[in-house]
Chains A and B, each alone.
Chain A
Amino acid sequence: MSDLNVFIDLSKFMLGIPFQPPLPPISDLDAGLAQTYYSRLAPQNSQMPNLLTVWSQITAQPPDQWAALFKAQIQNNAALCPVAQQIVIAWYTGACGNVPRSADLYEQTLVWVLAQAHPMGVPLAFGYWQYPPPGANQ
Chain B
Amino acid sequence: MSAQLDCDVVIVGAGVAGALMAWNLGKAGVKVIVLDSGPGPLALADRQTYVANYKSSGQPYPINPQAPKEEDFLATSSNYFDFEQPPKRPNQGKLVPGDAVPGDPFAAFNVISQTIAKGDWFQSNYERQSGGSTWHWLGTSLRLLPNDFRLASTYAPSIGGLKAYDWPFSYADIEPWYGLAEQTIGVSGPDTGEDYFGITRSTNYPMPAIPQSYLDQQFVAALAGQSFADGWVNQSFPLCVFPTPQARNSAPGYGGRPQCQGSTSCIPICPIQAKYDATQHVALAQQTGNVQFRNYSVAVQVLANTSDPALPITGIQYKTWQPDSPTVTTGTVTGKIYVLAAHAVENAKLLLLSPCGTITVANQSDQVGRNLADHPVSLVYGLTDQPVYGYRGPLSTSGVESLRDGAFRKFRGAFRMEIGNDGWSWPTNDPYTTPQTLLSQGLYGRDLATAVANTLCRQTRIGCLAEQLPNPDFRVTLSATMKDALGIPQPALTYGIDPYGQCSLSAAVAASIQIFKRLIAKPVVQYNFTDWGTGNIAVDPWRTDSGTPNIFVREGWAGAGHLMGTHRMGTDPATSVVDGTQKAHGHPNLYMVGSGNWPSYATGNPTLTIAALALWAADTVRKRLSE
Which A residues are within 8 Å of any B CB, using their own CB?
Answer: 13-16, 19, 23-24, 67, 70, 75, 85, 88-89, 92-93, 95, 100-103, 106-107, 110-112, 114-133, 136-138
Smallest CB separation, B295 vs chain A (Å) = 26
Q: Is B212 an interface residue (CB 8 A)?
A: yes
Given contacts A15-B445, A132-B214, 15 further A-B contacts (CB under 8 A): A14-B444, A19-B446, A67-B445, A70-B444, A111-B431, A114-B456, A115-B389, A115-B453, A117-B391, A126-B250, A128-B262, A130-B211, A136-B387, A136-B389, A138-B387
Mask of B330-371 contacts with A, CB within 8 angstroms, 1/0: 000000000000000000000000000000000000000000
A126 x B262 contact (CB < 8 A)? yes
- The chain B residues found within 8 Å of chain A, CB to CB, are 51-57, 211-214, 217, 250, 259-265, 269, 271-272, 386-387, 389-394, 397, 421-423, 425, 431-432, 435-436, 439-440, 442, 444-450, 452-453, 456-457
B55 pairs with A121, CB closer than 8 A = yes
Q: A103-B55, A123-B271 are in contact. Are A115 and B391 (CB under 8 A)?
A: yes
Q: What are 25 pairs between A and B in contact, CB < 8 Å?
A: A13-B444, A15-B448, A16-B447, A24-B453, A88-B444, A93-B436, A103-B51, A103-B55, A114-B452, A114-B456, A115-B456, A116-B457, A117-B431, A120-B391, A120-B422, A121-B263, A121-B269, A124-B261, A124-B262, A126-B250, A128-B262, A129-B392, A130-B214, A136-B387, A138-B386
Q: How far is B429's CA from A93's CA once the two chains are assembled, in angstroms?
A: 12
Per a CB cutoff under 8 Å, which of A102, A111, A123, A129 touches B452?
A: A111
A138 to B387, CA, bound (A): 7
Point out the residue from A15, A93, A132 that lies within 8 Å of B432, measured CB to CB.
A93
- How far, in whole Å, are A106 and B271 apart by their CA atoms in the complex? 15
Contact, CB under 8 Å: A123 / B262: yes
> Are B439 and A23 in contact, with the CB atoms below 8 A?
no
The distance in angstroms between the C-alpha atoms of A24 and B440, with both chains bound, is 23
Central interface residue in B211, B269, B447, by most chain A CB within 10 Å: B211
**Of the residues B214, B259, B423, contact of A126 by C-beta under 8 Å:** B259
Closest to B265 in A: A121
- Which B residue sits closest to A74, measured CB to CB? B444
Main SS class of interface, B = loop
- A103 and B56 form a contact (CB under 8 A): yes
Contact A130 B213 (CB under 8 A): yes
CB-CB under 8 A from A112, the residues of chain B are: 391, 431
Min distance, Cβ A129 to any Cβ of chain B, angstroms: 3
Residue of B390, B394, B436, B449 near A89 (CB, 8 A) is B436
Complex: chain A residue closest to B260, CB-CB: A126
Contacts of B250 in A (CB 8 A): 126
Contact of B431 among A115, A131, A133 (CB under 8 A): A115
Residues of chain A contacted by B262 (CB below 8 angstroms): 118, 123-129
Most B-side CB within 10 Å, residue of A75, A101, A114: A114
Establish whether residues A23 and B450, one from each chain, have CB atoms under 8 Å apart when the complex forms. Answer: yes
Q: Is the CB of B439 within 8 A of A88?
A: yes
Cα A136 to Cα B212 in complex, Å, equals 18
C-alpha gap A4/B68 in the complex (Å): 43
Give the complex CA separation of A16 and B394 in angstroms: 32
